Structure 1
Amino acid sequence: MRCRLCGCDRLVSVLDLGATPPCEKFLGPDELDSPEPTYPLHLRLCEECLLLQIPALITPEETFTEYAYFSSYSDSWVRHAKTFVAQAIERLSLDSDSFVVEVASNDGYLLRHAVAAGIPCLGIEPSVNVGAAARAAGVPTETAFLTEESARRIRAEHGPANLVVANNVYAHVPDLLDFTAGLRALLAEDGWVSIEVHHALNLLRLGQFDTIYHEHFQYYTLASAEQALATADLRVVDVESLTTHGGSIRLWARPSAVAEPGERVDRLREIEDEAGLHSASGYLDLRPRAEQVRRELLRFLLDCRDAGRRVVGYGAPGKGNTLLNYCGIRPDLLEYTVDRNPYKHGKFTPGTRIAIHPVERIDEDRPDVVLVLPWNLEAEITAQLGHIREWGGELVYPLPTLHHAEWADLDRAESVARASIDITTGRRTR
């Protein structure tokens, strides 16, 4: 394996999660007696450029041509997108003469707000099924993977973009250099690129190992993201701290000729350096953290089983499948899980083969414990499931450490959801 950013062959093992199926390859009932392909899930660090990465063992075409994830099923994520569009309009003075492109636009969860504001826009979405949902919602969407070639074609047809949005996609591209060149090819010479990506500082310091799965080919610090963007003559000029996905950063980049980094960029570089992320030794605590989470969660579930307590799950996200497979959790410990996305109903989780039902199943069965797999949405889900306390139900979150929702103070859920590293202070937010 060679680094996909700099080509170096010196890669250090950070965390080996074993071999698992692709996290979005949910099984139908007719597939339960068939074998599943599994692939190594081994996080490594390039000693040269310090990019965290896993081998590109599955192609984007295998994952994203038909996709099970629809962004609009998360209320908090839709609100986040609406707020971003409003702020971008103000910051960049976007209007009816502007052009906004979103890469990996999913079901139009973000661009619908640009449409409502009268701003010309285009989504680029590789998944046929979710792209169709976006068009049905009135969001212009082209079915394509972003490459430098496709970007040049789209620019020739629609013109240069004043803003290119790439939320939670920069980790999903195995050909990092070609994708980055595509971002630049879409962009006007005085345009802006906005990229949201889970911050590797949170992954490492808070032990968020379940964010590692086969769709995520690389995991960024500011420093490694700057090096990747520089390959296409893009420079990071500003960075914001976000609570989404357990702690993300929003990178604002521009063509190098019109770009100068601001104070927040310099400060985050310092924080990453202070955290030890400018050398390989700063990455090696993740393995013992992951092992500790596994021990605590399995001990809890085994105790529940011994006590005759009924445990079910909430959510069937990609990160949840990494957690379930790494911990070896199967229907004997987690009876079933539920999800708001009807696309997943009647299917089974990859590898662990846990049944997925509609959310209403929880109210019908009244289980003793609900284990929440998308722990990064704690504020939203605690509010949605607060009623389970009526029958004495417990709501449990596995990360960043195993903990119960505290019904006496639902506001605590918001503080937990914000458990990330503040990029202005370098301290944990709770």
Structure 2
Amino acid sequence: MTGQAIACRLCGSTDLRSFLDLGATPPCELFLTAETAEQREDTFPLHVRVCGSCLLAQLPPLITPEDTFEEYAYFSSFSSSWVEHARRFVGDAVERAGLTPESFVVEVASNDGYLLQHVVERGIRCLGVEPSVNVGEAAREKGVPTLTAFLTPETGAAVRAEHGPAQLVCGNNVFAHIPDVVGFAQGLRAMVADDGWVSIEVQHLLTLVERNQFDTIYHEHFQYYTLLTGQRALAAGGLTLVDVELLDTHGGSIRMWARPDAVAGEPSETVREVLAAEEKAGLHTAEGHDGFAESVSTIRDDLMSFLIDARRRGKSVVGYGAPGKGNTLLNYCGIRPDLLSYTVDRNPYKHGRFTPGTRIPIHAPERIAEDRPDYVLVLPWNLRAELTEQLSYVREWGGQLVFPIPSLEVV
């Protein structure tokens, strides 16, 4: 299938073929208040296509980053494992990039300061570039200097002019969120020192496919990267991929290390190994992406069968978490409050609100212990180890946890 009117945002080709069509859903982070839950919602197609030329998997930019990020519901610090992941990254980056108190570090999409707080603790000068006003303010309250802006080539040049070149520019889980891939890469290059380092962490399309992680597809994720397409995107900004790390975060991510072309040198052996694994999985051809949609249908069928059976048996089922990925799952499967009476979340911003599209009420986590449900459907399955421990008390009344991905599991 070819999308004739749509052009690839990396290479400009119009040779785009269907990869996964999840129907039409509302933006996943636009949680509803009691008032807006009674009003209509805008929905947009959630149809991923793969470019036949450069192989970038992508959604059309039907919503703008401004729609999503000027006030944002996601605060990184509510996941203790994610904050610890950031702390370890800072330690590793200090060593790799040779950072000292005289260095300068920039994080793009710095959220509430969850990462740069560790840089501040080390006495290293830093700046967060964060478009969301509300989470950026939370970062400043932690003592993390934060610029409220989207990264563009112009923003990058302005940061460099005011603060000097950065020895390290990092961006965790932002590379998928920007529709102007080339402009973003140019913005990174504008900020980084000519002998500096760029670190980009993003979910890996290889694990997304292998582990059926379709719920990480939503409108604010404009593209889905293999290492090959990530390498091509960085190259568009004058950055050469030199190393990669495979991470467990978000169900399987890659951390790409790049440097300005002139100082980059040859890529590491790990880069060659990961590229070979992608090629073996078929992801270095457009046709190799076929078949994923069928696997996704199986996930939906199994989860719906479980929920319908539980209802028929008079069992109570509630959710844990209200992440963006959960809203893709709920909307694609057509899950409503008759099958999932409510979900809970640690983020107070979401309490008293409703999930977009499916209108499932969101409560504080304490509600689970009060109600003692038979099953708890875990929506942020990527935090499985952390949440299994947090929810261990569910065993007290014989309750069970349900993980829908990579395949239905009741534990």
Say whether the fold is shared (TM-score over 0.5).
Answer: yes
Q: What's the CA shift string for 1:343-389, capped at 9, x where partnerless?
A: 00000000000000000000111111000000010000000000110
Following superposition, which runs of at least 4 residues in structure 1 exceed 3 angstroms of deviation?
A: none
Contact 2:282 2:288 in 1 (8 A): yes
Percent identity between the two aligned chains: 65
1:8–1:46: 8 Å Cα contact kept in structure 2?
yes
8 Å Cα contact 1:161-1:188 kept in structure 2: yes
Residue of structure 1 equivalent to 2:29: 24
Letter in 1 for 2:143: G
Deviation at 1:33, TM superposition (A): 1.6
Distance across 2 between alignment mates of 1:279 and 1:32 = 43
Question: Which letter maps to 1:169?
Answer: V
Paired residue secondary structure (1:32): helix
Count of paired positions: 405
In structure 1, the partner of 2:274 is 268
Q: 1:152 aligns with which of 147, 150, 157?
A: 157
Q: Distance in 1 between matches of 2:97 and 2:150?
A: 26
Q: Give the TM-score normalised by the residue count of structure 1.
A: 0.94
8 Å Cα contact 1:51-1:218 kept in structure 2: yes
Task: Tell me the CA shift for residue 91 of structure 1.
Answer: 1.8
Q: Which TM-score applies when normalising by structure 2?
A: 0.98
Cα distance in 2 between the residues matched to 1:285 and 1:241: 24
1:186 aligns with 2:191: yes
Which of 229, 234, 238 is residue 234 of structure 2 equivalent to?
229
Report if the CA contact (8 A) 1:19-1:39 is conserved. yes
- Given the alignment, which residue of 58, 62, 78 partners 1:57? 62
CA–CA separation in structure 1 for the residues paired with 2:130 and 2:301: 39
SS in 2 for 1:28: coil
Q: Deviations over 1:43-96 (max 9, x none)?
A: 100000000001100000000000000000001100100000011112222110
In the alignment, the residues of structure 2 paired with residue 72 and residue 25 of structure 1 have an alpha-carbon distance, to the nearest angstrom, of 20
Match of residue 3 from structure 2: none
Among residues 320, 331, 340, which one is paired with 2:326 in the alignment?
320
1:214 is matched by which residue type in structure 2? Answer: H
Amino acid at match of 1:352: T
Determine if the alignment matches structure 1 residue 341 to structure 2 residue 347: yes
* Residue 362, structure 1, aligned to residue 374, structure 2: no
In 2: Cα distance, 1:211 partner to 1:232 partner: 26
Conserved 8 A contact 2:97-2:196: no
Q: 1:74 aligns with which of 61, 68, 79?
A: 79
> In the alignment, which residue of structure 1 is the partner of 2:410?
404
Inter-partner Cα distance in structure 1 for 2:126 and 2:170: 11
Give matches, 1:155-166, under 5 Å: 155-166=160-171
Q: Does the alignment pair 1:38 with 2:43?
A: yes
The question of whether the paired residues in 2 share the 8 Å contact of 1:204 and 1:285 is answered with no
Structure 2 counterpart of 1:316, one-letter code: A
Instruction: Note if 1:126 corresponds to 2:131.
Output: yes
Residue 404 of structure 1: CA displacement? 2.1
Matched, 1:108 2:80: no
Over the aligned positions, Cα root-mean-square deviation in angstroms equals: 0.6
User: Any unmatched runs of 5+ in structure 2?
Assistant: 1-5
Shift of 1:282: 1.4
SS in 2 for 1:29: coil
State whether residues 169 and 199 of structure 2, in contact with CA within 8 Å, keep that contact through their aligned partners in structure 1. yes
Cα distance per residue 1:293-335 (max 9 Å; x no partner): 0000000000100000000000000000000000000000000
Within-5 A mapping of 1:169-180: 169-180=174-185
Please say if residues 66 and 128 of structure 1, whose CA atoms lie closer than 8 Å, have aligned partners that are also in contact.
yes
